[in-house]
Each structure stands twice: as structure tokens, then as C-alpha cells.
Amino acid sequence: MILNRENLSALSRTLKALVFEAKEGYTPLWPKLALEVQSNGRANYYAWMENMPTMRLWEGERQVQNLTAETFSIVNADWEATFAVSRTDVEDDQMDLIRITALQYARRWAEHDDLLIADLLRKGFQQKGYDGRPFFGSHTVGKRTFQNASNAPLTREAFRQALSQMRQLTDARGYPLGFFLQKPIYLVVGPGLESTAYEIVGVPTLPSGGANPDYGKAEILVSPWLVEEYETYWFLVDGSQAIRPFVLQRRSRPEWVAKDDPETSDEVFKRNVFIYGVYERKAAGYLFWQLAYGSTGTGTGA
């Protein structure tokens, strides 16, 4: 390829189209676990109502039900992903190699939103939610205390106990929230627990031959980031509600950036490479702990 401005601009357009199309072709996990919102500033401010209004028999005048709002903010961050293409590969028309590089780059970019949500899961036993408590832990609601966390290994009994705990949640008045009663409910595990999860909710019959009472109670989601020290972690998420336990907020659309001018690019001068990449502003954070249950799986029983 002759390295003139016209050819390099065409190469940049081709790579951009390839990368963006490959990203769109990726099927992410995060939409099942997180709410997507648009952001119009440096941060988004969220308010969660401690008590939601309920219907009552209308006798006399309307009664305004006072709401206690918990307000918290999530600050957007700058994110970039960059890859280099050898100038000699472009000159020698090594387009297959360049295409493979771009596709691998697109894959990593596409996975990033999933990674952000997986990071919230992994760190939720330490990082705090809107109530100032660890997102997975002990929470005070009115005069009661609820737990949405444990260290129980993933077993049939632990799965049932987790569902039972989350189904008993109430607001500060004692009004049942009714979560984890409708489908879909997601059982999130790493590759190491996939077969265990499948035995609990994925097969219609038990090893003994009887019917599996837990069959279909949850949909299994396998996260590739629940490995190594997180291999024993497992989670339940109520996906039937309009809100989600996590949020993915986007401040700007992804921007394609190219530094490929042989006359002006320092990268071409110093390293003999063309640089391409994307830039976007976004953030992920915690919303409603009542819609998620987590276990480190490091204990000895349910």
C-alpha cells in the first residue's frame, strides 16, 4: 500500500467499521444485571426511596405517604483502548494480520462493560452501597436487619436458603418487597461452578432419579471473571424488576481516534507504528442491594 493521506484515511475508516461492527456483534451479560442510563454531566445523582407508596382505601382526604430518599452519586471516568499497527505491515498489505489484530481489540473493548459489572460483583463485599454498608452484607431497614451475603459454598441447600432470605425482604414499614418471586432470576457463577449450578437448577431430574424441585428456578450466567481468588463466588440477581442492583451510565458515545499521519505522528516517527483507539466516558456503580445476593463460597456450609 502506498502510504498517502487518501489510503491511510481509507484504512482508518475500514478499521473503525470493523471494530465497531465486531463490538456490536458481541452478546454481553451486563444488560441482565445492570440498568443502563445516560449521563449529562460529570456525575449522576441517584435517589432511592426507602418506602415506596402503597395503595390504601380512600376514606376522607388523600393521605400523602412521606418518602425517605437516599441520595448518592456515581462519577463518570475516562476510558480508552488503543492498539498499534506496524507501518511495514500496512506497506506490505498484510491486511489479514491487521484484521485479526483489530478484531481481537474489538473483542476486548466489547467485554469491558461486562468486566465493569463483574468487578462490582467481586468487590461488593467491601465496597459500599447507598446506605453506607458493604453492598453485600448486613443492612438495617427500619427496625429490622437483613443479610444479602454469606460465605456458604454453592449447594442446593445454600441456593434455597439464599432465595428464602431475599424473598422475605420488607421496607421500613414492614411491607413485603416481593423480590425474587418472579422470573428471571439469575444465578451468576464462574467457570469452576458452572457444573454445580447446572446440577442445582439446570437439569429436570436429580442424580437419584427423582424430579428436581429447583429445576428452572434460576437462569445460569457464567462470568469469565469469576476465577482464581473469586472462583468460589456465586450470586443471585432478580432480573424481573424495572430497576437493577447495578447501573452502567454512559456520558459520551465512543470516539474513534487515529494517529496515522507519517508526517505529524510521533508514534510513526519513534516506533514506526500507526495508532488507533477508542475513547469513552462512563461508569458503573451500585444501586439496590435488595435485588442481589452474594456469597464468597469460602465457608463450610449454608
How does pLDDT run across 54-102, given as a tens digit for each residue? 666 677 777 665 555 567 889 999 999 888 887 777 776 677 888 888 8
Q: What is the pLDDT of residue 273?
A: 81
Instruction: Report how far residue 183's alpha carbon sits from residue 32's, in angstroms, rounded to the nearest whole number.
Output: 12
Segments of the chain scoring below 70 in pLDDT: 1-6, 48-57, 63-70, 92-93, 261-265, 267-271, 301-302
- pLDDT for the residue numbered 65: 58
The reported pLDDT for the residue numbered 276 is 87
Amino acid at 229: E
Please provide residue 255's backbone torsions phi and psi, each rounded to the nearest 5 degrees.
-110, 135
Q: Quick one: which H or E segment has residue 246?
A: strand 246-250
Task: Report the pLDDT value the prediction gives residue 15, as an integer from 0 to 100.
Answer: 87
Q: Output the pLDDT for position 52.
A: 62
Three-point CA angle 269, 272, 277, nearest 5°: 95
Structure confidence by residue, pLDDT tens digits, 211-233? 999 999 999 999 999 999 999 99
- Whole-angstrom CA distances from 94 to 40, 85, 98, 101, 225 are 42, 10, 6, 11, 33
